[in-house]
Amino acid sequence: MFINSIDKIIKITIFTFIRMKEKMDHLAFLKLSVEEALDGMRAGDGGPFGAVIVRRGKILGKAHNTVLKSHDPSAHAEVNAIRNASAHVQDHHLTGATIYTNFEPCPMCLGAIYWADIREVYYCAGRQVAERIGFMDKHLYEEFARPTQDREISTSVITTTDMDRLLDEWDLLEGKILY
């Protein structure tokens, strides 16, 4: 009975220790994303955004926002970090990886995270904070939740036979890789 109790205490202690270590790791990678954001912000590369991609404790890629530096509206920290990590591992999927980003990903970056097959996201500050400092992440989430015809951007569908031919050829294409 006594041995069993000690055994239980040891197990709980080990479990708590592992949980604490995991939490510390998450915090360390989030701090790194803030550092990355700070570097980019101070260099004038873009907004105060940084991201780190980690798999099994190893950093696959990290980046900050470079929208201003590269004159690229899609050069958000998460997209840049995904590009960096994917090039590093030479794979368009980052299966099993976690992304740490100082801000909640915007809808574009969240889409890129899905495309990259990253299934875990940690962030420090939400879309409300991003809104407060002048960015439209929250607005975009609200906009995308509206029906297409109620959005600010006009979207039209026009079918063409060229498109039909493209689809026919795609259907018949052998050895195509789906992602």
For Zn ion, which residue of 53, 81, 94, 109 counts as binding (CB under 5 A)? 109
Distance of CA 149 to the CA centre of its chain: 28
State yes or no: residue 37 binds Zn ion (CB under 5 A): no
In the bound complex, what is the minimum distance in angstroms from residue 78's beta carbon to Zn ion? Answer: 6
Residue 32 CB neighbours (<10 A): 18
Catalytic residue at 152?
no
Distance CA 105, CA 118 (A): 13
In the bound complex, what is the minimum distance in angstroms from residue 21's beta carbon to Zn ion? Answer: 30
Q: Which of 22, 35, 78, 174 is catalytic?
A: 78
Q: Is 110 exposed, middle or buried (0-12, 13-18, 19+ CB in 10 A)?
A: middle
Amino acid identity of residue 126, one-letter, is G
Sign of CA dihedral 20, 49, 126, 98: negative
For Zn ion, which residue of 34, 60, 66, 76 counts as binding (CB under 5 A)? 76
Which residue in 130, 139, 93 sits closest to 114, CA to CA?
93
Q: Which stretch binds Zn ion (CB under 5 A): 5-13, 19-27, 68-76, 121-129?
A: 68-76
Whichever of 47 and 98 has its CB closer to Zn ion, that residue is: 47
Whichever of 20 and 133 has its CB closer to Zn ion, that residue is: 133
State yes or no: residue 127 binds Zn ion (CB under 5 A): no
Residues 6+ apart with CB under 8 A from 3: none
In the bound complex, what is the minimum distance in angstroms from residue 45's beta carbon to Zn ion? Answer: 15
In the bound complex, what is the minimum distance in angstroms from residue 101's beta carbon to Zn ion? Answer: 9
For Zn ion, which residue of 60, 106, 113, 116 counts as binding (CB under 5 A)? 106
Distance CA 126, CA 2 (A): 48
- Binding residues for Zn ion, rule: CB under 5 A, are 76, 106, 108-109
Residues labelled as active-site residues? 78
